[in-house]
Amino acid sequence: MKKIIILALMLSALIVEAQQEPQYTQNQFNSQLEINPAYAGANDQASISLRYRKQWVGFDGSPSTLSFNGEGKLLNKTLAAGLSIIRDEIGITQSTSADFSLASHIRVNEKGYISVGLKAGVNFLNSDFSKLSDVDPTDPLYVTDNATLPYLGLGALYYAERVYIGFSIPRLVSFENVSPQSDIGSPHYYLYGGYRLTVNDDIDLRPALLGKYVASAPFEADISLDAWYNNVFGVGVSYRTSDAVNVMVKTKINQLYIGYSYDMTITRLRNYNTGSHEVYVGYMFGKKNTTPDRNQNNRYF
């Protein structure tokens, strides 16, 4: 019980002051839609995905996240839409968010495009303060255990056959009906990119970098490298600064994408958990590919 209370207090502080949005290891799949509305329509075909992540297994109150993403092009392939639904639990707090994205795509050269996107959504928060001890009931932070937070976000993305670069603020504006001293939301800033390097006819290397920043928390970077064989099977490793070393296995079976990752904590929390697990399943609509296409658009990372 003591561990639960200590963790609840710690995670409550994190929710209010630091990293608030879900964290993933397999960032080269289309979870990009969650952080960047400009990603909607970046694939040649519409796609859907489902992801589950359990962080710090064995640690009471540790984060768990279930998310759904869907996106696709609309008018003449220049306008696209996306939908993200996320259920996140951490400590004493549960949140459910849903947002809708619109993106416009402009061709800037023979192989490259720029897209800009906007998203609008709402986040429903519920906190069970009865699990906390030594709490001042008059503190504005603990007066209301439920909150509804509409938000707006924006992003931009450049993508070509072998490279992508994106910047986004998925919750730039949060419309909170609370006092200033108990503001819940803080804008998160993302800058990321990736590249596909062909080693030979069978092997591709796909390095990627994702940087994350939010006020009152240290800058964090995810540095990853995937190696794909024949565009069917991939293995990868990544490092999250001051947090974890991760290993990944992935496969593409025609239009179906499946991925699994395991995180090994490198902080003092490693003494209290057995790591983090993440499972991803995605599907891209369109015609079935019977053979790998060496010129295939690589935006579905």
Give the CATH number of the domain where residue 160 resides: 2.40.160.40
299 occurs within a structural domain:
no
145 occurs within a structural domain:
yes
What average pLDDT does this structure show over 175-199? 78
Question: Residue 295 pLDDT > 50, yes or no?
Answer: no
| CB contact at 8 A, 100 and 69 | no
For residue 4, what pLDDT is reported? 44
For residue 290, what pLDDT is reported? 41
For residue 177, what pLDDT is reported? 59
Residue 48, CB-side half-sphere exposure with 13 Å CA sphere: 5
Query: Which residue stretches of the chain are H helix?
Result: 2-17, 32-35
Cβ-count burial 7-21 (b if 16+ within 10 Å, e if not):
bbbebbebbbeebbb
187 occurs within a structural domain:
yes
CA-CA distance, 201 to 90, in Å (whole number)? 44
300 occurs within a structural domain:
no
298 occurs within a structural domain:
no
289 occurs within a structural domain:
no
Question: Residue 231 pLDDT > 80, yes or no?
Answer: yes
- pLDDT tier at 218 (50, 70, 90 boundaries)? confident
Considering the chain, what is the average pLDDT of its residues?
A: 84
Question: Residue 299 pLDDT > 60, yes or no?
Answer: no
Residue 168, CB-side half-sphere exposure with 13 Å CA sphere: 30
Nearest alpha-carbon partner for 45 in 255, 273, 275: 255
User: How many domains does one find in the chain?
Assistant: 1
Question: Residue 60 pLDDT > 90, yes or no?
Answer: no
For residue 10, what pLDDT is reported? 46
Question: Residue 298 pLDDT > 90, yes or no?
Answer: no
Q: How many CB atoms lie within 10 A of CB 76?
A: 7
> 105-130: per-residue pLDDT in tens?
999 998 899 999 999 999 998 887 76
295 occurs within a structural domain:
no
138 occurs within a structural domain:
yes
Q: Give the three-state DSSP class for 294.
A: coil
Contacts of 104 (CB under 8 A, 6+ apart): 78, 79, 80, 115, 116, 117
Structural domain harbouring 117? 2-284
